[in-house]
Structure 1
């Protein structure tokens, strides 16, 4: 059974995030583009106490978009974690992502890279994936560097898996570990169980996911659900080749619209011989491991550190 605090957050967080179904795609596009036009692209650090005193923060612009580099002061880590943030490919880095990344930097003694990758609908996967491949390769092979970890939550989790597949195809860098938190790995939303979980999820809505998926794939708003560009590996990595990927931990709750695709990915991973550990938290909502002060997140944190260490 979910904890009382979890259930309280399950009520509050979707309201704070403005979760809702999309009824007018054109209006949603205009709203999102207007929001992007006024974005403050500085790193949101307000959830991390004494951030400037505890962490060195640099910005690497070599990818063509800002990549925030966090290092705990007084340390010289060899390993690098690339963390790709969620937000449906339409929302920027959030204070919750920065807090989680800072916790990982502390607990693992790693350098953390937070790419502020280009957002849809103005941009598609084509504007992010290849620059991320080059970024990961550069930080894995640079002088004094050794060991690359990849991870992401929600849309960022799907992008992290696509990045791992792209790195495998290049044959130059093999990440040590991969962490997927409630990942969006199948943008076709083709699972028959999706409709049932759509009614159960208090946060995500299939109408918005279908629209954002089209934007990320570079398709018009009215493209059909079975358009082949939604199923290509770069967009829906769960449908791609799962062989020779790094050991992976995937976490998801059962009140999450994305859980059918996570289950499908776990099944395909077993068939492919991929070392993927899937942990499903009963009754937990989307990205529950990032939520503050709940026992479900504490359990996920312990499991995460065991995996990444």
Structure 2
């Protein structure tokens, strides 16, 4: 029997010494979201096959209907309190980079935030709301790159441009925090490792929420966790991973699966993960490797919580995660 899997619930059990009690038991609102989010997002149930052609068509329809820019209209009071500056990167595949600031502020901190969404979904209102929290409470400007997405694009179309953009910011400002959720969390780690390899100025901190760091799905327990994650599906993620990599040979590259690369010399990092999240397997791998590679990583694993719970609206567990994030960045 897997020593980190409950014989009664089938859920991943927190590893000894790593449990972070975000709540004595999951809140009622958390459980409501755990049951409604999959329906809202059309998650693939365990055992279901993903129709790749139908999924490509669905994503194409969504992209065709997408309004350019940040979804700020979904955030009440945005225009009154915040301003957005947008520029476009150069290179063969240009993409917009948005910077959010409080009106009238002069931020001394930059948060470079990579949004999640399986490398196929754009920035959504939850990302904007979290960016506003970062901007407001940390007195920061928040940079949101709207990087090109799969299946139309692969990691090769944006990785170097993102590294170059980040390098400019870390060279001119002392306090740059790189953060991200899910796929964006993995991308945040990959960009920082690439910046280290180029001997650039590193960010001061990394903040990663349930980062997707092993796109090969080779981390032990990943497939077992598929049965208990109410949101993510391994079949869907494997398809998205293949699209993002472009070439199966690229799946294990550190730019795509940073947990399999060199983790030495990285800045202080905090990782949040819940045990009802199949990506917790990769997060545990990061924690194991951090201890071996002398990487200052704070790993907080919350029993029975779902994917990217710190970004979900109105959760007491998210409020506690936010307080820990603020403490970490002080």
Partner of 2:231: 203
SS at match of 1:285: coil
Partner of 1:173: 201
Partner of 1:25: 52
Partner of 1:46: 73
* 1:154 correspondence with 2:182: yes
SS at match of 1:68: strand
| Contact 1:68–1:116 (CA under 8 A) maintained in structure 2 | yes
For 2:52 and 2:203, how far apart are their aligned partners in 1?
A: 38
For 2:271 and 2:74, how far apart are their aligned partners in 1?
A: 25
1:31-75 deviations in whole A, cap 9, x for unaligned? 222322332122111343211111121102135211111011121
Partner of 1:246: 267
Partner of 1:13: 37
For 1:269 and 1:41, how far apart are their aligned partners in 2?
A: 39
Which of 265, 273, 285 is residue 264 of structure 1 equivalent to? 285
For 1:308 and 1:92, how far apart are their aligned partners in 2?
A: 27
| 1:95, distance to aligned residue in structure 2 (A) | 0.3
Which of 136, 148, 151 is residue 118 of structure 1 equivalent to? 148
* 1:3 correspondence with 2:36: no
Which of 156, 160, 163 is residue 133 of structure 1 equivalent to? 163
| Contact 2:155–2:244 (CA under 8 A) maintained in structure 1 | yes
For 1:29 and 1:16, how far apart are their aligned partners in 2?
A: 19
For 1:62 and 1:110, how far apart are their aligned partners in 2?
A: 22
Partner of 2:101: 71
For 1:23 and 1:14, how far apart are their aligned partners in 2?
A: 15
For 1:217 and 1:232, how far apart are their aligned partners in 2?
A: 9
* 1:34 correspondence with 2:61: yes
TM-score between both structures, scaled by the size of structure 1: 0.94
| Contact 2:171–2:200 (CA under 8 A) maintained in structure 1 | no
Q: CA RMSD in A?
A: 1.3
User: Greater CA deviation, 57-66 or 288-297?
Assistant: 57-66
* 1:280 correspondence with 2:301: yes
Gaps of 5+ in 2: 1-24
User: Greater CA deviation, 98-107 or 57-66?
Assistant: 57-66
Partner of 1:291: 312
For 2:53 and 2:29, how far apart are their aligned partners in 1?
A: 37
TM-score between both structures, scaled by the size of structure 2: 0.88
SS at match of 1:199: coil
For 1:71 and 1:22, how far apart are their aligned partners in 2?
A: 43
| Contact 2:75–2:129 (CA under 8 A) maintained in structure 1 | yes
SS at match of 1:175: coil
